[in-house]
Amino acid sequence: MGLTVTRSAGKAFSAHNLLRVIVALLLVMTLAACATRPHVVAHGFAFNGWRDHWYPQITVLEYAYGDKYHMTRRKNEDGVPPGTAVFGAMPVADFLYVRWRLQETGETFEERVDLRDRLPADLWAHYITFVIDGPQLYVYVVTPEQIKVRLTKPPLRTWWSIDRVTYEIYPTVRSADRTYLGAAAPWAPASHEH
């Protein structure tokens, strides 16, 4: 029993040709699904209010690091712990969201940082961290590269910059010597087309 589908031109369209079209469509759909998967790389997200000296004056109420599919997040109106560290194969984040409260005044602030054009293309073994100074959020990329001589005082606001090459990526792009890098950052902007 053969299946015959008639086209408007009157020519027969065989079951074999129909099967070819279906297989081609499935292949295209599979490739499209693969193209929309997040870019996963081994890297870390961490912050430490004790070591960066902003806790207990500032309490983090909520944070989220990720993309629309996967996030490292935590929320508590009384405050989340003053530090966390996550490292492993995870999606390269599109954003970092932080909401915090100044203990002295009770004021709350929040910031959502678009990371898509601020991260290095190769994020392997890097950390993303943040520091809070009153109403201002600072975000850093910490590279795996060690500084040759351990410093006694961090050149940037984060303790990581004592012994690791670290770059400020928000609110401005700066190197450890506080040089404004702007578009001349030492990496190509990451491509996060999911």
Q: What is the pLDDT of residue 28?
A: 57
Positions of E strands within the chain: 4-6, 12-14, 40-48, 58-66, 71-75, 83-91, 95-102, 108-114, 127-133, 136-146, 164-170
Q: What is the pLDDT of residue 27?
A: 64
Quote the percentage of the chain above a pLDDT of 70. Answer: 75
Query: 186 pLDDT exceeds 90?
Result: no
Higher pLDDT pick, 29 / 144: 144
Q: 134: pLDDT confidence band, cut at 50, 70 and 90?
A: very high
Query: 169 pLDDT exceeds 50?
Result: yes
Query: 181 pLDDT exceeds 70?
Result: no
Query: 30 pLDDT exceeds 70?
Result: no
Quote the percentage of the chain above a pLDDT of 90. Answer: 57
Query: pTM for this structure?
Result: 0.74
Side-chain half-sphere of 60: how many Cα atoms within 13 Å? 25
The string of pLDDT tens digits covering residues 37-53 is 678 999 999 999 999 99
73-97 average pLDDT score: 94
Residue 138 CB coordination number (10 Å) = 22
Task: Specify the DSSP class assigned to residue 160.
Answer: G
How, if at all, do strands 12-14 and 108-114 pair?
unpaired
Q: 6: pLDDT confidence band, cut at 50, 70 and 90?
A: low
- The answer to whether the beta carbons of residues 170 and 137 sit under 8 Å apart is yes
Which has the closest alpha carbon to 117: 193, 178, 177? 193
105-115 average pLDDT score: 97
Q: What is the pLDDT of residue 188?
A: 39
Higher pLDDT pick, 27 / 75: 75
- 2, 13, 113, 164, 183 from 65: Cα distances, Å: 56, 52, 10, 22, 24
Taking the domains of the chain in order of start, what are their residue ranges? 4-35, 40-184
Higher pLDDT pick, 27 / 90: 90
Query: 123 pLDDT exceeds 80?
Result: yes
Q: Which helix (H) or strand (E) holds 15?
A: helix 15-35
Which has the closest alpha carbon to 51: 163, 147, 135? 163
- 9, 32, 56, 84, 98 from 130: Cα distances, Å: 65, 35, 15, 11, 9
Q: What is the pLDDT of residue 60?
A: 98
